[in-house]
Amino acid sequence: MNEIVIVIITTFLAGLAMPAGAVLASVEKIESQWLEQEFRHGIIAFGGGALLSAVALILVPEGIKELEPLSASICFISGGLSFMLLDIFFKIINTSASQLAAMLSDFIPESIALGAAFTSQSNTAFLLAVLIALQNLPEGFNAYRELNQSAPYSSLKIILMFFVMSFLGPISGISGYLWLPNFPEIVAGIMLFASGGILYSIFQDIAPQVKLEKHWLPPMGAILGFVLGMIGFMLT
């Protein structure tokens, strides 16, 4: 099969995990209120752990390979500042979508990296695609709940929006495959910019939602999410 077709298929399938997570969040209903609370907060923590693993194991290590410390720091800090300004903007217009922004900032640079990985005939590309999909599932779940609770959108509109966003995977993947292998510094800058934004979102929005009074299990979701990323990183 043509490599470009493989890039399109793998990045699109990874992106479909976003609407799949939204569908799960829309139908999720557990009879026990205690268990439902634990489950929801655990999923939020799992998504945070998966995002943290993407930053610590994929985006930052790959990004710093190609940049000097000063330029790497500028890209990373710029990402955090951009997400802070985006957060302030959403607050002004009374819409909370920071987890949606975090999901996309993770998905797009990883799809670019995935497309670039296929140019080197790397055996890690398919495992990276699986890792991206496994990250997108809880991120889609969390972003759906955030939008559903704060924005005037129906469940169907949010799910359809996430489905349309899945096409950003093939677009980013093809871009990485065709144009960016010869510009590793640009790819590195994108990864570090996204890392700064993701880290801001984890501590500003995701982590504060995890804690439940007199409950200690939900934070273990972050541990499991990070371990998931670590296993994927070690396998690649």
pLDDT of residue 3: 82
Report helix, strand or coil for 66: coil
Which tens digits make up the pLDDT trace of 86-120?
Answer: 777 777 776 666 678 777 877 888 788 788 777 76
Contacts of residue 133, Cβ cutoff 8 Å, sequence gap at least 6: 13, 14, 16, 17
Which tens digits make up the pLDDT trace of 113-160?
Answer: 788 777 765 566 777 787 778 778 878 887 888 888 776 778 888 899
Find the largest Cα–Cα distance for the chain.
54
pLDDT of residue 114: 81
Residue 212 lies in domain: 3-23+32-235
Look at residues 61, 105, 172 and name the one whose alpha carbon lies nearest to residue 180. Answer: 172
pLDDT of residue 164: 94
Sign of CA dihedral 189, 194, 200, 202: negative
pLDDT of residue 207: 67
How many domains does the structure of the chain reveal? 1
